[in-house]
Amino acid sequence: MTLRLYDTATRSVRDFVPMTPGQVGIYLCGVTVQSSPHIGHLRSAVNYDVLRRWLLHTGSEVTFVRNVTDVDDKILQKSLEQGRPYWAIAYENRLLLDRDYRSLNVLAPTYEPLATGHITEMHDMIASLIERGHAYPAANANGDVYFDVHSFPEYGALSGQKPEDMRSAEDAPERDKRDARDFALWKGVKADEPQDAYWPSPWGRGRPGWHIECSAMARRYLGDEFDIHGGGLDLTFPHHENELAQSKAAGLGFSRFWVHHALLNLGKSKMSKSLGNVIDLTAVVEAGIRPVELRYYLGSPHYRSRIDYTDEALHEAAVAYKRIEGFVHRAAEIVGPGRPKAVPPAFADAMNDDLNTSAALAVVHDTIREGNTALAAGDEPAIRGALTAVRAMLGVLGLDPLDPSWGGGDSSDDLRPVIDGLVALALEQRAQARARKDWAAADQVRDQLKNAGIQVEDTPAGPRWTVGEQH
């Protein structure tokens, strides 16, 4: 079955056929790093990581580009508020973003370009747009350059809006625009902004507009035309509409598919730094949710389904993941970890159906039920078959409990040998109490371990222990 994806541009689910067989180019609009990331950003990362992993699983070579906007109105405003260089704020938040991506087992991008590193490419594209009659320098010669919306008849096609119904572009002051809807390609110097946030250009000192950076960087790393452009649904207009217009007006084929994920809402509004209604990874972990459980929560709904965040839903997801984890560990203890390869046909069908992760996880849970039946019967071939299938599916979703990414990079790993030794000592004391039929002492050891967060399960192979709640 061919992968089918919903394309915003055509408002339809279409067969995805890459430009070059076996090779896929993806550009994902990354984060503007004016502050630390929140879990809404992480939903975007997880959704497109799953797309990438599925393409890799099915044999494609993927070039995955995710940009970072490191100069922008909001970052400059933070610089003025905090009295710190804009670039220091951007770098600090980039490090936090990278940390959170690693914590959720998001594959590193093939390339992660910075806006400030691609000024030359932006100048080239702006010059081409002026030459073609689609852009103009402001008459006041203060460095502003605008895209001429009326020069591009297709403007509004991506978002389904008509130019006459659009409000003024809010990405630049009204400094000699020909039309209020024209948007900034290059922003001239302003006296009330940090003066180290500007670069020389043919039109005067300035800095890039938000939209031109993505067109220039996508072209630099993926060429004049590429397969998939991704981002949040809230970026469809004006950001992606403007990207598409300026790229097409410059003579580029640009993106063949536009894939947008729905938002993560807190209350009645999308999770947004500007609104101040955000939850970050640190707060989630402090509430007792592990990063792998957060990834399960973010990746379980269909990527085009809105998530209305609640603590209850997050904890339910954590419980569901613990069931998956429990099966994998119990089965691996009996038959070994195995070598996951093929996924069940029903899982493949779900993933090819516009990345239906909800249906795909239903296949995971069905297979685990079969595996638990095999565990109860001691049927090792059936246990092995279920385990390898489950691990193959979880690998595509980035959720395999045996993936080393979930076991490394945590300072608590340094204490693992100590914890192993202490638990082993306690279990030996419990075993001795049971041997002399001192059930009260044995139960007391088990209860003390439970109070410390250690769950003990008696198995035919002896007691096994896990950290956390069992369900």
pLDDT in tens, the chain (471 residues): 799 999 999 999 999 999 999 999 999 999 999 999 999 999 999 999 999 999 999 999 999 999 999 999 999 999 999 999 999 999 999 999 999 999 999 999 999 999 999 999 999 999 999 999 999 999 877 899 999 999 999 999 999 988 777 777 777 666 788 998 999 999 999 888 998 999 999 999 999 999 999 999 999 999 999 999 999 999 999 999 999 999 999 999 999 999 999 999 987 777 776 666 789 999 999 999 999 999 999 999 999 999 999 999 999 999 999 999 999 999 999 999 988 889 999 999 999 999 999 999 999 999 999 999 999 999 999 999 999 999 999 999 999 999 999 973 333 444 556 676 788 788 888 888 888 888 888 888 888 888 776 878 776 667 777 765 443
The per-residue pLDDT for 442 is 85
Compute the distance between CA of residue 173 and CA of residue 184 in angstroms, rounded to an integer: 9
Strand partners, 231: 260
The per-residue pLDDT for 125 is 98
Query: Which amino acid belongs to residue 136?
Result: Y
List C-alpha distances in Å: 403 to 126, 339, 437: 45, 12, 40
List C-alpha distances in Å: 343 to 217, 220, 392: 35, 36, 6
The per-residue pLDDT for 432 is 87
- The whole-model pTM stands at 0.85
Compute the distance between CA of residue 119 and CA of residue 220 in angstroms, rounded to an integer: 11
Domain 4-261, what architecture?
3-Layer(aba) Sandwich (3.40)
Q: Rounded to the nearest 5°, which phi and psi values hold at 313?
A: -65, -40
So where are the chain's domains? Answer: 4-261, 269-406, 413-467
Question: Per the omega criterion (within 30 degrees of 0), is the bond before 238 cis?
Answer: yes
Residue 247, both tokens? 């790229």
The per-residue pLDDT for 52 is 98
